[in-house]
Amino acid sequence: MSKAYDRVEWDFIETIMKKIGFDEKWIVNIMNCVFSVKYTVKCNNVLLDIIIPERDLRQGDPLSPYLFLFCMEAFSRMLIQAQDNNILGGIRSSRNGPRINHLFFANDALLFVRNKKCDVEMLVNMFNIFSNISGQEINVEKSMVLFSPDTLRAQRNIFSDLLGMTVVENLNNYLDLPIPIRKKKATAFKETNNRLSCRINS
C-alpha cells in the first residue's frame, strides 16, 4: 500500500467495525480517539492555525496498526468472496488442500491469481473498488509480478501492462521465508532452520 496510514478514510473504518459487529458504544469510543487528532505547524517560531484532518491515522499511535488491519480485513473478505464465487481461483498447497488467493501481513500482500486475462482484469477491478471505498492505493512501484514458468511471453506482457507492475523472474523470500519452495522442502528451509538454531543456542 502507498502511504498506508495517510490514506485511511475514517468513515470506512467506522463502517467496517459496524460490519464486523462491534458494539455501538465501542465504535463511538474508538472513533472519538481517531477524530481527536489535531495538527499545528510552526513557521518562523510562530504557531499557525490548528489543522483538523478528515482522514489518516496517527503514526506511532498504538491504536493505529489495529485500525489499519480493519482496512485490510475488508480487502481480504473481498478476495475470499471472489474465490467463493469462482471469480479468483487462487492456488492449492496440496492436491486436495484448500485454495488460497492471498496472504497478508500488515500492509504487505502476497496475491495468487491464475494466468488468465479475466482473472487479472478482475483483480485490477478489485484494486480500484477497494481504493475508491477505503482511500487506500496500491503502490505499483514497489509491487512485483512473478509468473509461473508455463506462462507465455505474450501473456506476461499483457498481464504486466494490466497490473502496471514490474515483472521479476524470482522472489527471494516473503517475511524472511523462501519463495518458491518446490519439492525439496528441506533444502528450501535449511537457512531458516540454521538461523533458528543459532538464535536458540545463543
**pLDDT of 106 above 70:** no
Average pLDDT over residues 48-60: 67
Instruction: Provide the angle, in degrees to the nearest 10, between the axes of the packed helices 117-134 and 153-163.
Output: 10
**pLDDT of 178 above 80:** no
Please give the model's pTM, rounded to 2 decimal places: 0.73
Tell which wins on pLDDT, 120 or 45: 120
Average pLDDT over residues 96-119: 84
Most confident range, picked from 32-41, 137-146, 180-189: 137-146
